[in-house]
Every structure is written in C-alpha cells, then in structure tokens.
Amino acid sequence: MTRERLWLRSFLGITLIGMVLFGFSHGSISLADESEPDNLRNLASQRGIFIGAAVMSSQLNEPLFASTLAKQFNMVVAENEMKFSYLQPRKGHFSFTAADRIVEFAMKHDMAVRGHCLLWHQQNPTWLNKKWTKAELLDVMRHHITTVVQHYRGRVKYWDVVNEGIEDNGSYRRTVWYNVIGKDYIDEAFKAAHAVDPDAELYYNDYGAEGLNDKAMAIYRLVRGMKKRGVPIHGVGLQMHIDASGYPLNSGLKRNIQRLTDLGLKVHITEMDVRLTTPASKASLERQRRIYRDIMEVCLENPNVTAVLTWGLTDRYTWIPQHAPSSWAGMGEPLLFDVNYGKKPAFYGVQEALKGL
C-alpha cells in the first residue's frame, strides 16, 4: 500500500472513531481537513525536514489529539515516558509499555521517532541516588543505554543521548553521571548507544544555547572535541523554550547553527515553545506567529537542520506553567494549536515558512 493510501486509511479510521466518540457536538472543530496539501507534515516533507511534537501516551486516547498529531506531524517524541525513571523504575526492571504505545502510534502513521532521553539529571529513579563506584555507575549507564537502544532499534532513529549536561555558565553540570564517572561519561554514553544501533543518529541536547552565548560556545567546544576524538555524535538538539516578549528575532541562531553544521553535525530544534503572558492578546499571538515563522525560516535555510519539534501539540496540554521553572508563572499558550485544537496564528506562521511565502 502506498504511503498516501496508508495515511488516508488511518486518517479515515481516526476520523470515524472521533466522530462516534465526539458526536457532532464540536461544531466549530472540523475533523475533516479540506486542505490536506497544506498540512504541516506534507509541506515539511517537501522541504526535507521533519515537523514533530512531544506527546504523552494518554493523550493519544483523545481522538482530536490523535487525529491532529497524525495529520500535521511526521515526527514524534515522548514528553516523559522514555526518561530513565519511566523506563527503568527499579534497577534491572524495564517498563516499555507507555513508550511503546507512542512508538506504535508513530509506526502506524508513518512518523519518525526521537528518543528523549538516555541520560539526564532529572526524572531519574530514586534507586540511582546512592554511593556508586565509578565502575558500578558506568555499568548501570551502559546497561540502561544498551537495553533501551536495543529495544527501539530500527524504530527510534534519533536519540538524545545526553540532555542538559552543560550549565548556563559553560561548565559541566554536576549530575550523578558527572560526579561519579567524570566528564568522560558523555563520550562513553555515545559509544554505548552507537555500539547497539550504528544506524541511529545520536544527539547532545540542551536549552538556552540557541544564540551565541557562553553556553552555546561550551557546547560547541564539547561536540567539536567529541568529533575530533572520533566519538559517534551526529547532531545537536537546541531545545528552544523561549519567551515571546524577550526573544530577539535576530539572535545569532543562524550563525550558531552554521558553526555546528560546519563540524559535520545535524541540528534539530527539539522542544520549541514560545510562551506568552496569559491570557494572550491579539498582539502577543501575532508576535508568537512571527517568532515561529522566523525560526522555521532560519532552519529551512540550512539543509542540515533536519527536524523542528514543538514541546507539545495543543495549549490544552503544555508543561508551562505547572511543570516549568517558577519564574514562568503567569505564562503559557506556547504551542501551535489552542486548547480546542484550533489553528493559532503560530500555526500559520510555520505553514507560511514551509510554503516559502
């Protein structure tokens, strides 16, 4: 069956289920989209880039969530369910059920998957908090990476191997991995992942390093060193959690991306959201549209930027503000779809950029 027909079949299936479950009560929300060629995923694949969103498996139960995701996006990432505490809640006991649902959804709808994330300092299981020897923790780290990458080999093509390993001032973050193993934990993690799946693209991912600041320079030096040492790193993820009012439109993003890709690396925008003071105004939604559009345009200019993902799909389920830093209180509405899955100005900003308008 051709890709289009498979897609159409899934789409019709979801639409029918959606109509049965929702009745026709949601009059303003059209499940049948008349403008399929304008769906972001179709436009993005014509431009040779993935457009993705972070999801939680429970959200896939919601017909409108599932249909919007499958229609508009061709890449998916687990917002939480591939993190260490979810996948290995007890030492040696792996739990893939929730993450598998997301991956199965992606396979069914012909979407690529980013795995997020093998090593981080947050959302770790409590059993990791103990006094380890270096050899013991290296063993734990390698066993986790090997088991997870093996489980998803052939289905998860892109991995955030190390997430947020650098502090804002450019020094190594004092995580459990760094404190016990030393800075070599990063090289060792990439080598372990590559040994299991040589076809996977392996990324270093971080926030606040989009423009040309100290942190971005430290990350540049880190990945340049890794490349020189022959460590199997293939890309850098720039998270892109940004504030619409504070974000300078000409921020050095383009030059930062250029110097990373000059090293032979790919770049993914991995967790984009553009938060606004809530409730949003017409003017702030317009500003958000311009930011999404500008960033998408910068990404499209460089062929080695191969994916742009938003950290969520709809403003109905965003990590901001409940789970985000407390300084972001009073902010939200950061995504492309509003709480009723309506397309926001930001959606059209991305669409225009993809169309080259």
Residue from 123, 23, 39 nearest 343 by CA: 39
Which residue of the chain is nearest ligand XIL when measured via CB? 319
Which CB, 33 or 125, lies closer to ligand XIL? 125
**Active site residue: 62, 81, 164, 188, which one?**
164
Which CB, 36 or 321, lies closer to ligand XIL? 321
Please report the DSSP string for 110-123 in residue order: T-EEEEEEEE-SSS
Which CB, 11 or 120, lies closer to ligand XIL? 120
What residues from 20 to 39 belong to the interface with ligand XIL (CB under 6 A)? none
Residue 134: CB partners within 8 Å, gap ≥ 6?
180, 181, 182
**How far apart are CB 323 and ligand XIL at their closest, in Å?**
4
Indicate left, alpha or beta for 240 from its phi (over 0: left) and psi (-120 to 50: alpha).
left
| 93 forms part of the interface with ligand XIL (CB under 6 A) | no
| 91 forms part of the interface with ligand XIL (CB under 6 A) | no
Residue from 162, 139, 158 nearest 84 by CA: 162
C-alpha separations of 314 from 113, 207, 310 in Å: 19, 21, 10
Q: Tell me whether residue 271 is one of the annotated catalytic residues.
A: yes
**How far apart are CB 120 and ligand XIL at their closest, in Å?**
7
Which residue do the tokens 């919007």 mark? 68
Dihedrals phi, psi of 338, to nearest 5 degrees = -80, -175
Strands 75-78 and 50-55: parallel
| 57 forms part of the interface with ligand XIL (CB under 6 A) | no
Contact (CB, 8 A) for 69 and 310: no
Q: Where are the beta strands (DSSP E) in 197-260?
A: 201-206, 235-238, 241-243
Contact (CB, 8 A) for 75 and 307: yes
Which CB, 26 or 316, lies closer to ligand XIL? 316
**How far apart are CB 198 and ligand XIL at their closest, in Å?**
25
**How far apart are CB 107 and ligand XIL at their closest, in Å?**
23
| 79 forms part of the interface with ligand XIL (CB under 6 A) | yes
**How far apart are CB 166 and ligand XIL at their closest, in Å?**
13
Which CB, 130 or 323, lies closer to ligand XIL? 323
Residue from 117, 70, 99 nearest 237 by CA: 117
Residue from 206, 102, 204, 191 nearest 152 by CA: 102
Residue 333: CB partners within 8 Å, gap ≥ 6?
275, 276, 278, 279, 280, 285, 288, 315, 318
| 319 forms part of the interface with ligand XIL (CB under 6 A) | yes
What residues from 164 to 203 belong to the interface with ligand XIL (CB under 6 A)? none
**Furthest-apart CA atoms within the chain: distance in Å:** 61
Which CB, 152 or 204, lies closer to ligand XIL? 204
DSSP code, position 131? -
Q: Which of 15, 45, 80, 302 binds ligand XIL (CB under 6 A)?
A: 80
Q: Which of 281, 323, 330, 340 binds ligand XIL (CB under 6 A)?
A: 323
Which CB, 191 or 241, lies closer to ligand XIL? 241
**Active site residue: 62, 201, 210, 271, which one?**
271
**How far apart are CB 33 and ligand XIL at their closest, in Å?**
27
| 58 forms part of the interface with ligand XIL (CB under 6 A) | no
- Burial class from Cβ neighbours inside 10 Å (0-12, 13-18, 19+) for residue 352 reads middle
| 163 forms part of the interface with ligand XIL (CB under 6 A) | yes
What residues from 204 to 233 belong to the interface with ligand XIL (CB under 6 A)? 207
Q: Tell me whether residue 164 is one of the annotated catalytic residues.
A: yes
**How far apart are CB 327 and ligand XIL at their closest, in Å?**
14
Q: Please give the positions annotated as active site.
A: 164, 271
Kindly list the residues in this chain that would bind ligand XIL in the complex (CB under 6 A). 79-80, 163, 207, 239, 271, 319, 323
